[in-house]
Amino acid sequence: MSKVLVTGSNGQLGSELRELSSRYKYDFFFTDRNTLDITNKQSIIDFVYKYKIDIIINCAAYTAVDKAETEKDLADAINHQAVKHLAQISKDKNIKLIHISTDYVYDGKNHKPFIETDDTSPNSVYGATKLGGETAMQKINPKNSIIIRTSWVYSSFGANFVKTMLRLGNEKDELGVIFDQVGTPTYAKDLATTILEILPKIKNSNVEVYHYSNEGVLSWYDFAKEIMEMAKLDCNINPIETKDYPTPASRPHYSLLNKSKIKETFDIKIPFWKDSLDACLKVLGERR
Residues annotated as catalytic are 126
The C-alpha angle with vertex 135 and arms to 33 and 89, in degrees rounded to 5, equals 50
Contact criterion met (CB below 8 Å) for 45 and 5: no
CA–chain centroid gap for 120, Å, is 17
Contacts of 19 (CB under 8 A, 6+ apart): 189, 192
Tally helices (H) and strands (E) across the chain: 10, 12
Contact criterion met (CB below 8 Å) for 99 and 137: yes
Q: Rounded CA gap, 154 and 264, in Å?
A: 25
Residue 155 sits at φ, ψ, to 5 deg, of -165, 170
For helices 161-171 and 273-284, angle between their N-to-C axes, nearest 10 degrees? 60
| Coil, helix or strand at residue 99 | strand
Q: Rounded CA gap, 208 and 98, in Å?
A: 10
Contact criterion met (CB below 8 Å) for 196 and 16: no
